[in-house]
Chains A and B, each alone.
Chain A
Amino acid sequence: MTDLTSLTIREALDGLKSKSFTATELTEAHIKAIEENKNLNAFIVDTTDQALEQAKKSDERYASDSSLPLDGIPLGIKDLFCTKNVQTTAGSHILEGFKPQYESTVTSHLLRDGSVFLGKTNLDEFAMGSANTTSYFGNVINPWKRNDGGNAELVPGGSSGGSAAAVAAKLCMGSTGTDTGGSIRQPASFCGIAGIKPTYGRCSRWGVVAFSSSLDQPGSFARTVEDSALLLNSMSGHDPKDSTSANIDVPDFTSKLETSLKGLRIGIPKEYRMDGMPQDIEDLWQKGIEWMKSEGAEIVDVSLPHTKYALPTYYIIAPAEASSNLARYDGVRYGLRAPGEDILETYKNTRAEGFGEEVIRRIMIGTYVLSAGYYDAYYIKAQKVRRLISEDFTKAYEKCDVLLTPTAPSAAFAIGENEDDPIKMYLNDVFTVPASIAGLPGMSVPAGFDKQGLPLGLQILGKAWDEETILQVGHRLEKAAALDLNPYKTASKAA
C-alpha cells in the first residue's frame, strides 16, 4: 500500500471515495506517525480514541455513499481553538486542565464536514511568539535540519509552530492555525508548507482563545495550496456569535486555482527590500518575480511608505488588546488558582504563577500603554498610524491585484537564538505584520531553499475578501518552484 501519510488531502479524498483505503487506515497511519515523532513535541494532547471513532463513522458514510466534503481527513487543531470536552490550554499553565463545554465555530465546521481530529497542537503561550519557545508545554522542534552535518534543533516558527511542524512532518494532512501578526505565514515558511490567513472576518473567532481581538484570524496549513483552500472552504463563513464575522458569501476557494495569471498585476513593494536581508531571500524573491512574469503576470512597482511603522504599531495595539483580553484569567471560574490571603492576592498569585515570561511582558506593555496619561500618546497614536498603514495598501491595490514579498527575513533558526532581546524576536514578523494591521489576507507558499537546505516561503498578499486570487497565484508559484519538500531527506543526510 502507498504511504498514506504522504498523500495530499485531495489525493486522500479520491482514494477514500474509490475505496483504495479506509478512513480508519488513514487515521491509524497518522496516529502511528505521531507516536514515532514524539520528539517534535508538536501535540499537547492526542485524541486517538476520538479520532478512531470519527474515522469509523466516516467509513460508514463512505460505505453508504453519503460522504462529506472532508470526510475522514486527519487534522491537527491548534490548541487555541476550544474543543468540547478536550483540554484546551492556549499553551499556558493558567489553562492547564481546562475542558471547554463547547466547540469553536471553526472546528465545528470542520467536524460538520467529516474531518478527523488527531489532537491539539502546541503553540506559543496565548499565541505570543515567533519561535514556539514560549509554550508551557515545551518547545516544538522543526522536522527540518540544516544540511551542514550538525544536528542543531531548529524552531518551527510561531505561534502556530505545532500545527506547522505536524503538517511538515506528515503527522496530519492539514491543521488549523491563527494569525495575529504572522503566526500562520511565518511558521509555514519555516516548515516548508502552505499557510493562509484569510481576510479578518472570514473565519469566526468564536471559541478561539482571544489574544488581540482586532487582529486575530483563524486560517489553515497544508502541504499544498489546493489543500489549504479545501480546509478554508470548510472553516469560513458568517457566524452571528462573532460580531466581526462578515456576512458575505464564501466562494469555492479552489475555483480559480487553474486560471492563468495572464493580465494579473503583481505589485512589488519597494519598502520590503530591507537592509541586511539575506542574499538567499533576496534571490528567491527575484526568482518568484521571474516565475510570475513567465506565467503572463504584469509586475508593478508599488510603495507602502508606512511599512517601517507597522511593527511599532503592532507592539502597542496587540499588547493593549491582550492585556484586556487576558484580564479574565483570575483563578475564579476556570483554570489555575493560586490562593492568597484575600481575593486580590489570589488574583495576583494566580496570574504570576500561571502566565509565562513573554505573556507577562506583553500584559505589562499593554497595561502601561492603556494607563491614565499614556493612552493618547501610545494607543490612540498607534490607531492613527494603523489607518495610514491600511491606506497604504488601499493605494497600492489601485495599481495591482496582489503583492509578492518574502514571508520572513530568515529561514528557521536554532532554538535559543534571538532570545536575548524581545525586539529581535519581534523582527521575525516584519513582512507579515503590515497586512495583519490592515486586516488583509495573505499566504506563504514554499518557493525555495537557503544555502543550508532549509525551506523559504514567499508571501502573497491580496485585497480584502480576495483570497481566491492569492490562492491562484500561490498555486502557480508552487507549480513553478516544483520543490521536493521532504524534511526527512535532509535529516537523514545530516544523521
Chain B
Amino acid sequence: MDKQTVQKVANLARLNLSEEQEDRLVDQLGNILGFVTQLEEVNTDNVEPLASVVDIKLPLREDKVTDGGYPEAILVNAPEESEDYFVISKVVE
C-alpha cells in the first residue's frame, strides 16, 4: 500500500482526505490487507463463491407502481430543495 494507491482509492470512494489521514491509511490499510491475505493459504479450487446464505429464490413481483405520490415527505430531509426538486450545484454548462 502506498500513498498514490490511497489517493486513487479515496477518489473512487469520493472522500477528500487530509494529508495526515492519507499517511495513516497507508499504514493501516497495509496492515489490514496483510491480515486478510492469509486467505491465500486456503485451497479454493472448484469452490463456488457464496454470495447469499439464504436458501431462497429471490422473489419477483409484478412490475407496477406500488408506492409514491408524496414529494413533501421525500424532500423533508433535503439539505436544499425547491419546487419539489432536490437542489444541487450546476452540472451542465
Contact = CB atoms under 8 A, between A and B. Distances in A.
Contact of B33 (A101, A365, A421): A365
Contacts of B52: 214, 244
B42 A388 contact: yes
Q: Which DSSP category, helix, strand, loop or mixed, fits chain A's interface? A: helix
B65 interface: no
A343 B56 contact: no
B32 A315 contact: yes
Contacts of B16: 345, 348-349, 351-352
Interface in A418-455: 421-423, 437-439
In this complex, which of A313, A348, A364 has the most chain B Cβ atoms within 10 angstroms of its Cβ?
A: A364
A422 B44 contact: no
Interface in A298-348: 306, 308-309, 311-313, 315-316, 323, 327, 330-337, 339-348
B50 A386 contact: yes
Interface in B45-82: 47-56, 58-59, 61, 70, 73-74, 76-80
A371 B47 contact: no
Contacts of B39: 309, 312-313, 316, 381-382, 385
Q: Which DSSP category, helix, strand, loop or mixed, fits chain B's interface? A: loop
A493 B30 CA distance: 45
Nearest to A345: B16
B9 A388 contact: no
B29 A346 contact: no
A397 interface: no
A421 B34 CA distance: 13
Contacts of A21: none
A316 B38 CA distance: 12
Contact of B50 (A101, A243, A387): A387
A390 interface: yes
Across the A-B interface, the 8 shortest Cβ-Cβ residue pairs: A439-B53, A383-B49, A334-B77, A337-B79, A387-B50, A384-B44, A348-B16, A101-B73
15 contacts: A101-B70, A200-B54, A214-B53, A244-B56, A246-B54, A246-B56, A306-B42, A331-B79, A344-B14, A352-B16, A364-B9, A368-B33, A383-B50, A387-B47, A439-B54
Interface of A: 97-99, 101, 200-201, 214, 240, 243-244, 246-247, 306, 308-309, 311-313, 315-316, 323, 327, 330-337, 339-349, 351-352, 355, 360-361, 363-365, 367-368, 371, 378, 380-388, 390, 421-423, 437-439, 464
